Chain A
């Protein structure tokens, strides 16, 4: 069974440019999460989807970040415009969606973003 797929794996952009990350969760997983992991820190939740619905986006900087999961499967996270402080690893995770935050989350390899 395929795991969580993310692309691209690496991205280098100049500040003020837009960037997008794509995630395809494990088949059958209803819940999808986007996390940001700064260097030397643990992941921090940006947004959580239950199927197509964003049920927790309180940590998403909505002035420049947006996300969508139109058909309840794959998802895109966008930053526009990017700032130097956005340099981080962006992780996508998925889970079955049956038991809330006690569920095991399955993580993708992440997209490492460098903003110059």
Chain B
């Protein structure tokens, strides 16, 4: 079975500062990992995903995440926050090799960007 924890339900950063959103996962098999973003009153949109290729994954809007197996982590970063980055961010995990295993979403981290 898989699970996801996201440390910090709310994160505030200043505009131009580094964004770091934490995600740790638990999986009994090699995982697929995702970061989705949800803007107010909108559906979720994929930022990036890890599917066992390069451990450093680059996504849209300048975000990237690094898969660290030893730490069971998949933290999301962006060098310089923009006001438009304010949103809810969800980390998710699914199990590779078992195509009918579902995607498990974390509880989300709300990112605020202070001008």
Using CB atoms and an 8 Å cutoff, list the residues of chain A in contact with chain B.
3-4, 40-45, 48, 55-56, 59, 91, 93, 99-102, 104-110
Cα distance A56–B43 in the bound complex, in angstroms: 22
- Measured CB to CB, the nearest residue on chain B to A48 is B102
Cα distance A3–B46 in the bound complex, in angstroms: 13
Instruction: Please determine whether B107 and A40 come into contact, CB atoms closer than 8 angstroms.
Output: yes
A-B contact count (CB 8 A): 65
In this complex, how many residues of chain B approach chain A with their Cβ under 8 Å: the count is 27
Nearest CB of chain A from residue B23's CB, rounded to whole Å: 11
Instruction: Please determine whether B32 and A109 come into contact, CB atoms closer than 8 angstroms.
Output: no
Q: A100-B99, A102-B96 are in contact. Are A44 and B43 (CB under 8 A)?
A: no
- Measured CB to CB, the nearest residue on chain B to A110 is B43
Instruction: Please determine whether A42 and B96 come into contact, CB atoms closer than 8 angstroms.
Output: no
B window 81-111: CB within 8 A of A = 90, 92, 94-96, 98-103, 105-108
